Amino acid sequence: MGASAQHEVAAKSFDIAWVRAQFPSLELQVNGRPAAFLDGPAGTQVPRQVMDAVQKYFLEANANTYGAFLTSRRTNQVISDARAAMADFFNCGSEEVVFGQNMTTITFDLSRAIARELEAGDEILLTTLDHDANFSPWAALAEKGVVIRKVDIHESDCTLDLDDLKSKLSSKTKLVAVGYASNIVGTINPVAEITRLAHAAGAMIYIDAVHYAPHGPIDVKALDCDFLVCSPYKFFGPHMGTLYGKKPLLERFKPYKVRPATDTVPECWETGTQVQELIAGIQAAVEYLAELGRRSDSSAKTRRAALLAAYRSTVAYERTLAAQLIEGLLALPGLRFFGITDAQRFHERCSTVSFRLKKGTPTELAAFLGDRGIFTWDGNFYALNFTERMGVELLGGVLRVGLVHYNTAAEVDRLLAALAEFLAA
């Protein structure tokens, strides 16, 4: 059986009824119609397991860390269990997992710490495709005389221009910051290859996997990346961020911290008291994905194997939804599509899709859809370099539809029908 036939079989056997039953908020009604949550790229809904874990923390473990009493010990355990869960998620050691407020804050913190070792004339390579949270924290180091260089994109399919990347990489490059997948057009970047190129030039690599995390498995060992960051609220967990850092690098760079706080990795990177109840929720989000994986592959023995099985099933399912959506969109008259449309190249994209209609602004369209219970986003989603580069920043950006594995073919049909209605009105 070929890869696409295997995908079709996997997508057909995907237990969407079980998935949706795990997410109570999907029951929401808007003006008498069921809500269609096509807003996942800005944050996904959470399964009941996550809500229960947060509540359980408050009921049974609510205290600060490292005290000599029950609830404090339980809090330590909650954090260490969540670290182990994220270590399985990233495929790294627990001591390489850092929790933080969100990806943006983590990136500002790390960029300032790395800047302690940078000198005027050192270079950092950024991209036109990235969310600004993987741009501005690094670009701010220009204050120290660090030279910021920016990799361009191919306009036709919204992929990174690797020739441009290679031409801008040199022995002066100290760090390459790149996204795993674009939060505006869904392009999946060849991060393994970019990591090899960065390392060959003697540079470190910082990968923003915030958008990729709900759509595909992460393996920091296989990538050999130095840092990788993502936000659990984008993969069915609570509003937080998490960082993977190679242990020697977490030990080498020095975080800004208060004196009594530990110097031990990874806690020394976690400034102040953490949102412990949400850390409990992160573990539950990883467990939810593992449970999904065990349902599709009962032979998965470890949590990591179960996570990989989960992604095998969701990737296949999301790809069929994306194909249905993109085919339907391209049939609409005058639609401007941003990104890869060729089904043969769908392994280079995830199920996040952006476009403009010939009529109305993205904001007007989002409001029209919102009134019909269809949740989408309009604007630039902080992918500011991209909307400027494509000439749509001053035109209200784009309309973004994000499909995750709890979405359905019926929701895609509803969206396409509503778009046709908008055009006809």
Of residues 4 and 102, the one with the C-beta less far from ligand PLP: 102
Q: How far apart are the C-alpha atoms of 336 and 420, rounded to whole Å?
A: 15
The distance of closest approach from Cβ of residue 193 to ligand PLP in the complex, given in angstroms and rounded to an integer, is: 19
- Identify the three-state secondary structure at position 378: strand
Of residues 45 and 134, the one with the C-beta less far from ligand PLP: 134
The distance of closest approach from Cβ of residue 223 to ligand PLP in the complex, given in angstroms and rounded to an integer, is: 17
Of residues 185 and 357, the one with the C-beta less far from ligand PLP: 185
The distance of closest approach from Cβ of residue 377 to ligand PLP in the complex, given in angstroms and rounded to an integer, is: 10
Q: How far apart are the C-alpha atoms of 404 and 422, rounded to whole Å?
A: 24
Which phi-psi region, left, alpha or beta, contains residue 202 (left: φ > 0; alpha: ψ -120 to 50)?
left
What is the amino acid identity at position 232? P
The distance of closest approach from Cβ of residue 232 to ligand PLP in the complex, given in angstroms and rounded to an integer, is: 9
What is the amino acid identity at position 112? R
What is the DSSP code (8-state) at residue 253? S
Of residues 179 and 373, the one with the C-beta less far from ligand PLP: 179
Of residues 103 and 419, the one with the C-beta less far from ligand PLP: 103
The distance of closest approach from Cβ of residue 278 to ligand PLP in the complex, given in angstroms and rounded to an integer, is: 12
Give the alpha-carbon dihedral of 69, 71, 76, 82, to 10 degrees: 170
| Residue 223 vs residues 91, 165, 169, 190, 302: alpha-carbon distances, Å | 10, 18, 19, 10, 21
The distance of closest approach from Cβ of residue 362 to ligand PLP in the complex, given in angstroms and rounded to an integer, is: 17
Of residues 106 and 418, the one with the C-beta less far from ligand PLP: 106
The distance of closest approach from Cβ of residue 211 to ligand PLP in the complex, given in angstroms and rounded to an integer, is: 4
Of residues 239 and 257, the one with the C-beta less far from ligand PLP: 239
Of residues 211 and 246, the one with the C-beta less far from ligand PLP: 211
In sequence order, what E strands does 26-140 have?
29-30, 33-34, 36-37, 97-100, 123-127
The distance of closest approach from Cβ of residue 379 to ligand PLP in the complex, given in angstroms and rounded to an integer, is: 11
The distance of closest approach from Cβ of residue 5 to ligand PLP in the complex, given in angstroms and rounded to an integer, is: 32
| Residues 130, 136, 141: CA angle, nearest 5 degrees | 130
Q: Residue 38: CB partners within 8 Å, gap ≥ 6?
A: 374, 375, 376, 401, 402, 403, 407, 411, 415
- φ and ψ at 22, to 5 degrees? -80, -15
- The string of DSSP letters for 327-373 reads HHHHTSTTPEEES---GGGGGGB-SEEEEE-SSS-HHHHHHHHHHTT
Q: How far apart are the C-alpha atoms of 282 and 89, rounded to whole Å?
A: 11
Of residues 103 and 392, the one with the C-beta less far from ligand PLP: 103
Binding site for ligand PLP (CB under 6 A): 42, 102-104, 131, 133-134, 179, 183, 208, 210-211, 231, 241
